[in-house]
A and B are shown apart, each in its own frame.
Chain A
Amino acid sequence: SYELTQPPSVSVSPGQTARITCSGDALPKQYAYWYQQKPGQAPVLVIYKDSERPSGIPERFSGSSSGTTVTLTISGVQAEDEADYYCQSADSSGTSVVFGGGTKLTVL
């Protein structure tokens, strides 16, 4: 089955830039999406279609794509950004949704 691979954890100090990657063979052909999930809460969409930001999401959140890897970048990380982040895409058939395993962002 199709998989999206994320690093289990990323740590940054406040004010620095955090980059979270997501790799998958179908990513050159499929859009990627990113969700932020804080403990005990439902996920929140922070990036859609590789690099678009929903209304209400701070400008410090951005997304990019290069080949089989997509990246979520959080510039000027704040303490409130500490959360789990999940990438999401579709499998090569385009009929099934796949999530990455999630990355825990720790703000030191």
Chain B
Amino acid sequence: QLQLQESGPGLVKPSETLSLTCTVSGGSISSSSYYWGWIRQPPGKGLEWIGSIYYSGSTYYNPSLKSRVTISVDTSKNQFSLKLSSVTAADTAVYYCARHVGVPSEYYMDVWGKGTTVTVSS
């Protein structure tokens, strides 16, 4: 059974870089059928897609976050990672990693991690 697990610091200082890793178990991140990505949810608010990556390294980002986001993949470790630079309090959220099924014009998320809370505060 495929499982995704987010990990990383729960507290990040303003202006610094948020870094999270998603470890995939029970399946290969190198499968040709899937992308892998990140979604976040600020406290009490809705879902916001951050971006996705293919095992080959091709990436797609939310235009509103593109200038600050980098998603990378490490197939040898079956992991993919998120870096969000110059964070502010508005980046405080629960961050989910999720498997994306299909191609970018019509993909959806069928397996999600449990989420990890990241707070931006000094």
Contacts and interface: CB of A to CB of B under 8 A. Distances in A.
A94 interface: yes
Contacts of B61: 96
Interface of B: 37, 39, 46-49, 52, 60-64, 96, 101, 104-110, 112-115
A12 B53 CA distance: 40
A81 to B, nearest CB: 19
Interface of A: 1, 30-31, 33, 35, 37, 41-45, 48-49, 54, 86, 88, 90, 94-102
7 closest A-B pairs by CB: A94-B105, A97-B49, A42-B112, A33-B108, A99-B47, A102-B46, A31-B106
A98 B64 CA distance: 11
Given A30-B105, A90-B105, A90-B106, A96 B49 contact: yes
B7 to A, nearest CB: 15
A1 B52 CA distance: 19
Given A42-B114, A43-B47, A96 B108 contact: no
